[in-house]
Amino acid sequence: MNPYILTILLFAMGLGTTITFASSHWLLAWMGLEINTLAILPLMCQSHHPRAVEATTKYFLTQATAAAMLLFASITNAWISGQWNLELMNDSLPTTLIIMALALKIGLAPLHAWMPEVLQGLDLTTGLILSTWQKLAPFCLLLQINPSNTNLLLVLGLTSTLVGGWGGLNQNQLRKILAYSSIAHLGWMILVLQFFPPLTLMTLLLYFVMTFSLFISFKMNNATNINSLATSWSKTPVVSSMLPLILLSLGGLPPLSGFMPKWLILQELTKQDLAPLAVLAALSALLSLYFYLRISYAMTLTMTPNILLNALPWRLPSHQHTLPLALTTSMTICLLPLTPAAIALLTF
């Protein structure tokens, strides 16, 4: 892609997210979401592959439906209450419609069916943008509205954690596994959204760091399915040795960083007298942990049957920049000792 066009598209994505962040008017928030959606579409179909074009079409139709529902709900709220303010959502009908529209935008279950199919048709770099940056603007709106129907968010969150765990069990494609991982993590964030919004924000940022490390590691190995991970030791041995730790951190296994948000969310749910919900969420995390362990096994304990007669790739000079990966991997693995500081910042 032309560098100038790429710069304009990335600037438009940042502008759309910034408009949504800074808006207190539903029309401006909707406009920011639309700018964000239209900016990523050329990036998604830049390879001109039929699979990429199909994924782009699915993404556009889904986001257009969610945006139309959001606009309809905001107009309904303005008709009922006479104002367009984000924080003044007093009627249950437009509030429910807006929550469902934003759930469709970010891919919460049961409105998740587009997410694995779209991510499967994209390259890893665009998939990283779709899994991280595109979640910011809808989450900003979810954090600002005050839902009157609190049970809806709990149902969406629990369903997402269960679907994200079950859906990834029988997958061989890494991008689909990452999509179901995203759905499960979004469910954890939604569970605690109405009780402790700063904890949701911290979980989202830590998820971004862990997902960035995972996507970049797969991109360095040029891996798109589990079978291709068997050759990763001959390509990038250092990255391959760190990747199981990243995967286990995503699964929430102590003493890695990913355990911290799950621990704090379970603690907060228990404080709200939602112990059965916390138990179900913790059990659903075991499902996700299973397919993370499956990927780790395929990478570390299996070897390719081919005999490599030429020079191993890791012995050749590499031109890949590994500093961002090293920084994010360190944060993915080593942040658990900072849990008391994180709690102090969240309660400040």
Q: Which has the closest alpha carbon to 76: 65, 62, 92?
A: 92
Residue given tokens 């990927």 in the structure block: 295
Residues whose CB falls within 8 Å of the CB of residue 288, separated by 6 or more in sequence, listed in order? 164, 165, 168, 180, 181, 184, 250, 251, 252
- CA 218 to chain CA centroid, Å, is 16
Please give the pLDDT value at position 1.
78
Task: Identify the band that residue 315 occupies on the pLDDT scale cut at 50, 70 and 90.
Answer: low
What is the sign of the dihedral through the CA atoms of 18, 213, 285 and 117? positive
What is the rounded distance in angstroms from the CA atom of residue 117 to the CA atom of residue 135? 17
> Per mean pLDDT, which range of 26-35, 111-120, 329-338 is the poorest?
329-338
More confident residue, 315 or 152: 152
> Per mean pLDDT, which range of 22-36, 168-182, 231-245 is the poorest?
231-245
State if pTM tops 0.85. yes
Residue 173 β-bridge partners: 225
More confident residue, 236 or 217: 217
Please give the pLDDT value at position 305.
57
The whole-number average pLDDT for the span 59-84 is: 92
Asked whether residue 149 carries a pLDDT value surpassing 70, the answer given is no
The whole-number average pLDDT for the span 242-258 is: 89
What's the pLDDT tens digit per position in 27-44?
999 999 999 999 999 999
The whole-number average pLDDT for the span 76-86 is: 88
The whole-number average pLDDT for the span 231-236 is: 74
The whole-number average pLDDT for the span 102-118 is: 92
> Per mean pLDDT, which range of 47-51, 124-128, 208-212, 267-271 is the poorest?
47-51
Asked whether residue 134 carries a pLDDT value surpassing 80, the answer given is yes
DSSP letter for 108, please: -
236-275: b (≥16 Cβ within 10 Å) or e: beebbebbbbbbbbbbbbeebbbbbbbebbbebbeebebe
Structure tokens at 281: 């969420």
Q: Which has the closest alpha carbon to 26: 84, 65, 97?
A: 84
> Per mean pLDDT, which range of 158-172, 271-285, 290-304, 312-326 is the poorest?
312-326
More confident residue, 170 or 160: 160
Task: Identify the band that residue 72 occupies on the pLDDT scale cut at 50, 70 and 90.
Answer: very high
CA distances (Å), origin 305, targets 39, 69, 141, 230: 43, 52, 50, 9
Asked whether residue 145 carries a pLDDT value surpassing 70, the answer given is yes
What is the rounded distance in angstroms from the CA atom of residue 73 to the CA atom of residue 80? 11
Q: Say if CB 187 and CB 158 are below 8 A apart.
A: yes
Indicate the SS3 state at residue 226: coil
What's the pLDDT tens digit per position in 45-56?
888 888 999 999
In whole numbers, what is the pLDDT of the chain averaged over residues? 87
- Measure the CA dihedral 84/22/205/33, to 10°: 60
